[in-house]
Amino acid sequence: MPNDNTTPHRADAYDFQVRQTIPYYDAFHAATLELVAAWGTPRRWLDTGGGTGTLVARALPRFPETTFLLVDPSPEMLAGAREKLGDRVTLLAPAPTQALTRVTVPPCDVVTAIQAHHYLRPTARAAATRVCFDLLAPGGLYVTFENIRPATADGLALGLAMWGAFQQAQGKSPTAVAAHQARYDTEYFLITLAEHLALLREVGFRSAEVLWLSGMQAGFWAVK
């Protein structure tokens, strides 16, 4: 059966399979919620590349006064989000981040993009990051988690070896691990920690910081 989104996992199996693939996946969401809570209570929060709505589902009880909007390029992912979230969240029409505009999305206090932009080549990634900046109200908070490229060839080799060992420990076969890693630089396009921070500053954020780091995954926050 063909895939129905840009991830290697079909939407109906995504929630299970992503945890077999990405170390500390649930920690990304926990760290995001802690950061937003420290920042304040957003009136409007956009989750772009929101998949099946896992982050928003965790955020809803913590931020009961916040209006949530969720968008993803995949109709099937959004169907999963609709099933999970019901009518508590506004689901936008399927679209990648870089296609959103202020015409269709009102200014938001928080914009999140969790594991959403590593599928994009450099020009598209820059465009998506710029859109997240544009959709924020002044002083708004942007949070993103991404797979990152180590700074050296040795770092990449060791990072991939550790990542592959994690996936096998979660039940993936060596063949599945090899297939996942073969997507790097063909379907996944990683940039370094320094390049992430530089991009955030280039699009106009007044501050940009590392929120979380482990191996080949990192979280960043920036304020408009």
Residue 13 covered by a domain: no
Counting the structural domains of the chain, the total is: 2
Radius of gyration of the chain (CA): 17
> Are 157 and 125 within one domain?
no
pTM: 0.91
Asked if 89 and 177 sit in the same domain, the reply is no
Whether residues 219 and 208 share a domain: the answer is yes
> Does a structural domain hold residue 22?
no
Range of the domain at 130: 28-149+190-223
Residue 131 lies inside a defined structural domain of this protein: yes
According to DSSP, the residues that pair with 67 across neighbouring strands are: 44
Residue 135 in domain: yes
Please indicate, yes or no, whether residues 56 and 160 belong to a single structural domain of this protein: no
Domain-embedded: residue 90: yes
Q: What is the CATH number of the domain that holds 73?
A: 3.40.50.150
As a whole number of angstroms, the distance between CA 127 and CA 85 comes to: 29
Tokens of 34: 């802690």
Q: Check whether residue 160 and residue 81 sit in a common domain.
A: no
Span between the terminal Cα atoms of the chain, in Å: 42
Please indicate, yes or no, whether residues 167 and 75 belong to a single structural domain of this protein: no
Per DSSP, 71 falls in state E
Mapped onto helix, strand or coil, the DSSP state of residue 81 is helix
- The tens-digit pLDDT sequence of the chain (224 residues) is 344 345 444 444 556 677 878 888 899 999 999 999 999 999 999 999 999 999 999 999 999 999 999 999 999 989 999 998 988 899 999 999 999 999 889 999 999 999 999 999 999 999 999 999 999 999 999 999 999 999 999 999 999 999 999 999 999 999 999 998 998 889 889 999 999 999 999 999 999 999 999 999 999 999 99
